[in-house]
Amino acid sequence: MNIGKVIALFLGGLIVVLMLFMLFSSDSPTQATQEPVKNEPKPVTQTTSSSSEFQTSDELNKIKELKQSVSVSSDGVSKLYLQSCAPCHAKDGSGILAPSIIGRSKEDILARLNEYKAGKIPNSLMEGLLDNVSDENLTILAEEISKFK
């Protein structure tokens, strides 16, 4: 057997071993192949992350606090706002993790939301959340948020 065949067999075996390793080390192979449902807002409040993903326990506590505050009662806040905005901006817009959105005009809010959606303001979370939100729903959200005092 020449050296070329030995190297080819070695590399082929190495590739097979790596493929088997990747197959058995993944938690859920179907997660990557599932496509998200179009035209529905992504539910942010249903997170299945573990505490090891957060830098500090303070961040985890803030996430838990936000999740609890959103799930308690809506207090006149729409379901769209609760799903899309409240997990970061809080139920009242005071913004525990994200900036406060209280006291802004409808036009200002709508302009910012459209800039996030278009990718003009670099923020991957906002851009990802707004991908599936229609322009009509953005207007509804801006109207609702502008009433926060």
pTM of the predicted structure, to 2 decimals = 0.50
The answer, yes or no, to whether residue 18 has pLDDT greater than 70, is yes
**99-125 pLDDT, tens digit each:** 888 998 999 989 988 888 888 888 877
Residue 112 burial by CB count (10 A; 0-12/13-18/19+): exposed, middle or buried?
A: middle
67-76, 121-130, 138-147 — most confident range: 138-147
Domain holding 69, by residue range, is: 40-146
**23-75 pLDDT, tens digit each:** 887 655 444 444 554 444 444 444 444 444 556 777 777 766 666 655 545 56
Per the structure, the count of domains in the chain is: 1
**CATH number of residue 98's parent domain:** 1.10.760.10
